[in-house]
Structure 1
């Protein structure tokens, strides 16, 4: 048997993400992959065989989780995105579009062949017909048009090792209900978009565990004329040139009508339903910032060095033809800026009502960078009105709870896995300080400043040699 690895982190302020006040001058002792002691440095003895990390004046938080990613790299090297996640303190990801390659990468991470985050992997995307991604080449979508296809799709996803079923926006009522019924029968979780074709209130009660993004979901239900607005969602038709782009444009029209009729009492009732059903929401405000304000996407961002060379052109195309549907009038641009304001305000109201929020980014869409953009999402959540602690919890304890890991992950406490981020500045003073990373610990593995720099350099080299 190999001897235990013992590490001691001495002198830092611990922000354990439970909601408790920060505790200065603490010692955190890690044995192998588990936190065994957290306490005042003056009272906690350091084991004789410990590797000591002097982190005086720094801040220790739990490892971060990005609960909505798409790690389809243009490279064949799985270290590309894995390195970017870990270098940014992201020790856990929820992959929202399952592919066989992701399962291979997970096996490589779990075997220690490569360094990477803990992965939860979706099924292939299940959508109705026409699927919103059906006109994009080489994108795997499972079209589910009826109950027979729904049962088959769930069974195949479960057999393929999916951790949960990912549902999308265009599923018919029959297909959606059958997916939920079959998934429940097979004891597999369902998460994803709301369906345009069923009332959102029904979907909250359906057993779907999380709803992703904020396209049309809350506002169409939070108005006195809810039936008219839900009917407008169901009546959306997409065009074959770019189904997703035309869908975004049509949804925005319904959203604009909905906020004009928004009723706080009705919204509060929706939030109460979400809380009672223990349903989580992943707002992905960074995506909405890009869709509603595409001019904010910088194609000369210095982080492009970590992306493949064709990324700026791809992002420019997606922003113009998908996000903007080929162009926006001045009035449409003004409306989208107002929609972004409403999205943030709605997230704050959901948080105040007790709705569980999960931090997610939807990377690698335009303007989004694996690992880096989670910190932008935390900033968006605080900008919306959450406290820095609430934003931090949306990327730590809440994901752990959602994934059934809260008894062993998500906080800095004895008995929890040693997924940690050591920061140079206090994130509760300014949430942007989560970017000030000194070191990362993943599953007990210490990644100091030099190794973290090597991870970023590796990602840059892999991207640069990709064609």
Structure 2
């Protein structure tokens, strides 16, 4: 791909168009919110009052009685036989059942035999939108409105995931966040990370940004700040001087940088971490900071020491390589996934028809097998050293289903040697603290936002019990699993009834998708 200099008039014109579109979208949603008008369809606010308890449907007070609370104020705390009262989207009262007064008129729900914990966080996702589909498919034949915001985020909510990090944020992502935060669409709180890559970006410009010099990098950071993103994501082809300039400028702008460790197989982990990178977004990034994976495994103590000294965090994404490995070993695996019917048809094209993992050569398969083992060892070593590690999945990557994959990640982390208590503490409290929202959410405490998950079984006993969702409570509104499942089935039926989509396009098969493009046997 030819180099696009940041300072060219073409780049400026593109940025002006992006900002203009974003301002129009914000003004439109604000207008709709002020006059309480529907956005595009009557079902945009996904759940109707008929699908949940009457009082909880409109955000009125709600009491959950006799429930076991896993508050995540510490990793092991358990509060049994408690009553929780929610009001105005917040946790108002927590007290022992039988000793807690429940005012008349409050909707009461039995929590007997159930477990209540903070809602879940996926620290690494790639939510779809129309333009993302156009860019990845290499086609303009994707009309506006093809990818509906309410559909993209429903699987997260149905799986108890009410906070995500969008690792490939675009101007459309800002509009999606406005729709969610204004209450027009049910969805998770979404932090936005805008991507910067080097002179020849690995992903299309429009999804990524290009910076080949330190001055370019500084300007892109200033643009990202001005456009309203929360974080800067450094990608794989940045050179060291530009990377250091990006981190320095982000610090001046009051932003943090996380991402990949660029320039793989160059053993530059120390300068990357010394530059004050806030978080490495894949465990596997360290596997490529050595001559081969075996050498990287021998260097795990060195990586631990570097990370400890720099204060860097780590996002796990173990399930990413496990899913890649499954697709390599069994090409038909994707077609058998039960979650496939909950994916937009355009996403299914990328997963099934343009999947670059299937039919991989033996050397590539061996590489991913080695990386999968390395990832588990690295994550366990980081946790044992008290380096903050938070779960993320790379959702939307082929085989990594939004919402569902976070439960896969939890199970992968148990296989790596972590306890359910460690995993859930990291996914709730630690994740919220990293994102700057620890005072608002991430624990079950009086005054905190009522973003909660009610489970039918104890996740401390078996991490797979996080899948056994009885209800999801978003901003104090109660959504039963039956209601959410009904919405998911309705969405799947609409997808199945869509005319066969043929976007065409010139894009090659999606070799790895957004964050894992294999190139010369590297990610």
TM bin, normalised by shorter chain, reads 0.7 to 0.9
Structure 1 segment 144-223 matched on structure 2, within 5 A = 144-196=211-263, 199-217=268-286, 220=289
3-state secondary structure, aligned to 1:215? helix
> Aligned match of 1:299 in 307, 327, 335?
335
Q: What is the Cα deviation at residue 216 of structure 1?
A: 3.9
| Structure 2: distance between partners of 1:46 and 1:92 | 30
> Aligned match of 2:68 in 13, 17, 21?
13
| Structure 2: distance between partners of 1:401 and 1:36 | 21
* CA shift in 2, pair 1:76/1:333, >3 Å: closer
Q: Is residue 286–residue 376 contact of structure 1 (8 Å, CA) maintained in 2?
A: yes
> Aligned match of 1:78 in 137, 149, 169?
149
Q: What is the Cα deviation at residue 5 of structure 1?
A: 2.7
* CA shift in 2, pair 1:156/1:127, >3 Å: same
- TM superposition score normalised by structure 2: 0.76
Whether 1:132 and 2:202 are equivalent positions in the alignment is yes
Q: Is residue 284–residue 371 contact of structure 2 (8 Å, CA) maintained in 1?
A: no
Aligned residues: 421
Which residue does 1:115 correspond to in 2? 186
3-state secondary structure, aligned to 2:311? coil
Q: What is the Cα deviation at residue 336 of structure 1?
A: 3.0
User: Which structure 2 segments of 5+ residues have no match?
Assistant: 1-57, 134-145, 502-523
3-state secondary structure, aligned to 2:472? strand
Q: Is residue 81–residue 459 contact of structure 1 (8 Å, CA) maintained in 2?
A: no
| Structure 1: distance between partners of 2:105 and 2:293 | 60
> Aligned match of 2:361 in 285, 308, 328?
328
Which residue does 2:100 correspond to in 1? 44
> Aligned match of 2:350 in 314, 333, 336?
314
User: Which structure 1 segments of 5+ residues have no match?
Assistant: 221-228, 233-253
Q: Is residue 80–residue 462 contact of structure 1 (8 Å, CA) maintained in 2?
A: no
Whether 1:271 and 2:304 are equivalent positions in the alignment is yes
* CA shift in 2, pair 1:108/1:462, >3 Å: farther
* CA shift in 2, pair 1:57/1:256, >3 Å: same
| Structure 1: distance between partners of 2:494 and 2:198 | 36
3-state secondary structure, aligned to 1:85? helix
Structure 1 segment 32-111 matched on structure 2, within 5 A = 32-73=88-129, 75-111=146-182
> Aligned match of 1:398 in 430, 435, 440?
430
Q: What is the Cα deviation at residue 309 of structure 1?
A: 3.1
Q: What is the Cα deviation at residue 454 of structure 1?
A: 3.1
* CA shift in 2, pair 1:316/1:256, >3 Å: farther
Q: What is the Cα deviation at residue 268 of structure 1?
A: 3.3
Q: What is the Cα deviation at residue 338 of structure 1?
A: 3.3
* CA shift in 2, pair 1:152/1:463, >3 Å: farther
3-state secondary structure, aligned to 2:286? coil
CA RMSD of aligned residues (A): 2.2
Deviations 1:163-216 (A, max 9, x none): 111110110112111111111111111111112267212222322211111234
3-state secondary structure, aligned to 1:8? strand
Q: What is the Cα deviation at residue 269 of structure 1?
A: 4.5
| Structure 1: distance between partners of 2:420 and 2:466 | 10
3-state secondary structure, aligned to 1:298? helix
Deviations 1:38-72 (A, max 9, x none): 22212222122321111210111110011110001
